């Protein structure tokens, strides 16, 4: 028997994301007042994705509890739809985007933090909030994968959805630069146009690789248990 029921874990994780988002939005940073606001940062988009995903998880748990012992076929159908949405979000957004944000942020941060998280931000963002945005995402999503079996979509559909998200965000970053003349991430200021194209292509490939890693890990965990 688990020490803490998975339903309680998911509710606690959801509350932690709500707290992180509220504290982040309460920070009066100049970047929040410029074009695109918080939505130009992948970290913030990922936090919203994770909060929505765990919100759906909690809603699924509640719906499952309420429909238990109920013979209503309509309620069962709605529950299956909710579970399908939960599994799709886990496969296409929560795992690959979450793992990408954590690995990319800390890899660049260790190399040269000024390229992704200038020291100036320490005056606005406390260390605990930084880790809440860039560290705990990984263990939270791994806990969810370990406690719940998620049905992945077909590989072609999953990869197409991940590519759509990645290309969409890259185009959004390029549009912001077109409007403001400033790149969202200082790293991009140091790259030539040709290198930028290679970098964006590499980013798209990496996030697709993380999708495949999630699919393999999910199958390994649950096939082993079977």
pLDDT in tens, 135-150: 999 999 999 999 999 9
Which is nearest to 158 in space by CA: 114, 195, 207, 199? 207
Which tops the pLDDT comparison, 78 or 41? Answer: 41
Which tops the pLDDT comparison, 49 or 3? Answer: 49
Per-domain residue ranges of the chain: 6-224
Residue 1 confidence (pLDDT):
38
Residue 220 confidence (pLDDT):
92
Residue bearing tokens 């049905």: 151
Residue bearing tokens 């509890």: 65
- Give the pLDDT band (50/70/90) at residue 68: confident
**Residues 147-170: b if buried by 16+ CB within 10 A, e if exposed:** bbebebbeeeebbebbeebbeebb
pLDDT digits (tens, 9 = 90+) for 18-34: 999 999 988 888 878 88
Dist CA 103 CA 97 (whole Å): 10
Q: Is the dihedral of CA 45, 48, 50, 53 positive or negative?
A: negative
Residue 69 confidence (pLDDT):
66
Which is nearest to 92 in space by CA: 58, 56, 49, 140? 49
Q: Give the single-character DSSP code of 98.
A: H
């Amino acid at each position: 028997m688990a020490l803490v029921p998975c339903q309680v874990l998911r509710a606690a994780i959801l509350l932690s994301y709500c707290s992180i988002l509220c504290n982040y939005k309460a920070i009066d940073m100049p970047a929040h007042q410029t074009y695109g606001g918080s939505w130009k940062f992948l970290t913030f988009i990922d936090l919203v994705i994770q909060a929505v995903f765990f919100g759906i998880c909690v809603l699924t748990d509640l719906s499952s509890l309420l429909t238990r012992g109920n013979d209503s076929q309509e309620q069962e159908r709605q529950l299956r739809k909710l579970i399908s949405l939960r599994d799709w979000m886990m496969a296409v957004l929560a795992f690959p985007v979450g793992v990408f944000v954590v690995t990319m942020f800390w890899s660049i941060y260790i190399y040269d933090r000024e390229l992704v998280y200038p020291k100036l931000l320490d005056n606005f963002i406390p260390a605990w909030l930084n880790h809440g945005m860039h560290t705990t995402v990984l263990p939270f999503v791994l806990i969810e994968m370990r406690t719940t079996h998620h049905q992945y979509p077909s590989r072609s559909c999953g990869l197409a959805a991940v590519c759509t998200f990645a290309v969409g965000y890259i185009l959004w970053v390029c549009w912001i630069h077109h409007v403001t003349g400033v790149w969202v991430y200082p790293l991009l200021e140091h790259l030539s146009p040709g290198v930028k194209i290679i970098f964006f292509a590499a980013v798209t490939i990496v996030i697709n690789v993380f999708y495949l890693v999630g699919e393999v890990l999910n199958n390994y965990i649950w096939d082993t248990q079977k």
